[in-house]
Structure 1
Amino acid sequence: MGTLAGHLVPGSVLALLGLWHIINTIRSYHLKGPTHFRTSFWHPFTSLSSKLAYMELFLILFFSIFSVVMQILDYPLFSFDFKLNNYEHATMFLHLVIYSGFTLLTELTHKSDILFEVSGILAASVFGQELFLLYYHSADHVGLEGHYHWLMQLIVIVSLLTTVTATMFPSSFSSSLVLSMSVAFQGFWFINMGFMLWVPELVPKGCTLRLGHGGDSDMHGAVVCGNHEAVLRARGLANLQFSWILGGIMIFVGCLCFSFPKKVTQRAQSIEYERLNSRVAEIPLSVAGFKQVTYP
């Protein structure tokens, strides 16, 4: 993953997955209401009777297996040399394989309701292992690169905590929504890291991109800043990017929340109107019934 493509590809997948979960979580909450809402760690593309319903789980499973293979083969070198850094990345995807494979099996065997908590535990293990391997990474993430990875760990912590909370309290809309937002945030932050750390033209002022493996700009490298002021400036820019991306996700969620209640409100008004009509219609019948009463 220490390449530009290694950040853009998984980042794009995570961002799209997070946005997909945000949309479906908000829609499910407004359709079912607070009393009937239930957290879901995946969302069907169509009705459950269709073969495309489990497309999300299939895509996650196959993408994770593909990523494990690419890390072991050391793409784009395609060698079987044991590199600890690659195997750490492959292990992250391995836990994603375990989660998606188990959850897909529970759905196909109609045991998802019984084993919901187990799927939640496995989903939490994905973020737990990601946090563990990011924190104890064998790669030398120091300086600006280390700061970007430290900010990434903050997002993963939120994903881990909200996954545990959503598993324990499946009716909590806030936990489910924050979990979806954190997944999207991880994806967008991966993309941002790819551009800011692996594109020489986007490296902050006063810093340079030190390349490895023969100077290929798509291979492993590190950003080195010339002095302390350049380091502070680069970290400040990273903090601003962190806040801007989070703000963009917040704006998207807020706009989406306002787009759904319009339909719900109209539906509620029509139901209330029908109840009102039914009550009015019942009054003449009761009155007529009283008029028909005769006494000897």
Structure 2
Amino acid sequence: MGTFGGHALPGSFFILYGLWSIWHILEKFYRRKSYELNKSNESTSEYTCRISYPIERKQQTENDIKKCFSCCKKSFPLDSLAKLVFCIIGIIGEVITGFSNDWIFVHIGNAQHSTMFSLFGLSGAIELCIFYGIFKIPLQSEYLFHGIALWGELFLFLFHLHHRNPLDVYLHILLTGMIILGILVSVVELLNPHEPIYGLIRSWTYLMQGTWFWQVSSINIFWRYFISLRCYAFLRLNY
């Protein structure tokens, strides 16, 4: 993750995942509101928060259903699948780049990054298992594994600062603050499942994490320049 690509991959995922969540939260909420205000004839259930938002498929005819595979449903968990795929790619990249030219694993930080990817990948895998009925557990169990992933990310970044220069430490402190906010909001959201505001705030923390990764990837390219100028004020305003 110390490279541009290593930061751009998780940054892109967090930004896309945040935008995806915001769109579906607002869509579900306003569809229900339109139905309650008699502005729509489409009957929709009451808004209930969740971590994953599968794509709802269009109405299928009987012939279409017969042609479809047995695993097909009225919706498809694209976000959960993307989360798992992104994390697998991240793990492979971290493991490969962690070795020296003599195939000795020398970059211990890559092992920490792989652990973070593994936790988020586990969250995506659990969401897929819940969606396809492999695990017969409540839908809100998504929050448990999502929380574990965030706690793991927070723990790893807190212990990722040893023997780092002041600028590097400051950068990671900015991120840990956003992770803590995401954890707290997730707990409040779980306790208030019909309030969309908490889901929107949680999704906003994803966007902020994504922008952090992209900004840090740019800083890595001009690292000596930033170190020489000690651009703490710039980073604070930019983030």
TM-score class, shorter-chain normalisation, is 0.7 to 0.9
- Structure 1 position 54 matched with structure 2 position 85: no
How do 1:60-79 residues align onto structure 2 when only pairs under 5 Å count?
Answer: 60-74=83-97, 79=103
2:124 equivalent in structure 1: 100
Q: Determine if the alignment matches structure 1 residue 170 to structure 2 residue 221.
A: no
| Partner secondary structure for residue 97 of structure 2 | coil
CA shift at 1:81, angstroms?
A: 1.1
Q: Give unpaired runs (5+ residues) of structure 2.
A: 37-44, 59-71
The root-mean-square deviation of aligned C-alpha atoms, in Å, is: 2.5
CA distance in 1, matches of 2:197, 2:100: 44
Matched residue SS, 1:137: coil
| 2:50 paired with 1:44 | no
**Contact 1:64-1:94 within 8 A present in 2 as well:** yes
**Residue in 2 that maps onto 1:32:** 32
Q: CA shift at 1:137, angstroms?
A: 0.8
For the 8 Å contact 2:99–2:107, the answer to whether it is kept is: no
For 2:74 and 2:215, how far apart are their aligned partners in 1? 35
2:227 aligns with one of 219, 224, 229: 224
Change (3 A) 1:117 1:51: closer
Matched residue, 1:9: 9
* Structure 1 residues without counterparts, runs of 5 or longer: 210-222, 243-296
Q: 1:51: Cα distance to partner?
A: 7.9
CA distance in 1, matches of 2:88, 2:162: 23
Contact 1:72 1:80 in 2 (8 A): no
Pick aligned residue for 1:161 from 170, 184, 197: 184
Give 1 or 2 for the bigger CA radius of gyration.
1
SS across alignment from 2:120: helix
TM-score by length of 1: 0.66
Match among 113, 122, 129 for residue 89 of structure 1: 113
Partner of 1:119: 142
TM-score (norm 2): 0.80
For residues 50 and 164 of structure 1, the distance between their equivalents in structure 2, rounded to whole angstroms, comes to 30
Q: What SS does structure 2 have at the residue aligned with 1:116? A: coil
**Pairing 1:209-248 to 2, within 5 Å after superposition:** 209=225, 223-225=226-228, 230-231=229-230, 234-242=231-239
SS in 1 for 2:16: helix
Counterpart-to-counterpart distance in 2, 1:31 and 1:93: 34
Q: Deviations 1:263-288 (Å, cap 9, x if unpaired)?
A: xxxxxxxxxxxxxxxxxxxxxxxxxx
> 2-side partners of 1:83 and 1:76: how far apart?
7
Q: Percent identity?
A: 20
Q: Give the counterpart of 1:131 among 127, 147, 154.
A: 154
Distance 1:7 1:51 in 2: 35
SS in structure 2 at match of 1:36: coil
Distance in 1 between residues matched to 2:208 and 2:184, nearest whole Å = 15
Per-residue CA shift, 1:193-238, capped at 9, x if unaligned?
111x2222xx6xxxx35xxxxxxxxxxxxx523xxxx43xx11111
AA of the residue aligned to 1:144: L
Whole-angstrom CA distance in 2 between matches of 1:101 and 1:162: 23
| Deviation for aligned residue 1:82 | 4.7
Q: RCO (CA 8 Å, sep 6+): is it higher in 1 or 2?
A: 2
CA spacing shift, 1:39–1:144, aligned 2, 3 Å: same
2:221 counterpart letter in structure 1: V
Q: Is the 8 A contact 1:74 1:80 kept in 2?
A: no
Report the number of matched residues: 215
Equivalent residue letter for 1:40: R
Question: What is the deviation of 1:152?
Answer: 0.9
1:84 positional shift: 1.9
Q: Tell me the alpha carbon deviations over residues 1-50 of structure 1, each in whole angstroms, 9 at most, x when there is no partner.
A: 01111111210111111111111111111112399211121112332955
In 2, Cα distance between the equivalents of 1:19 and 1:44? Answer: 14
Give 4+ residue runs of structure 1 displaced > 4 Å after superposition: 48-52, 75-78
Q: Is the 8 A contact 2:161 2:169 kept in 1?
A: no
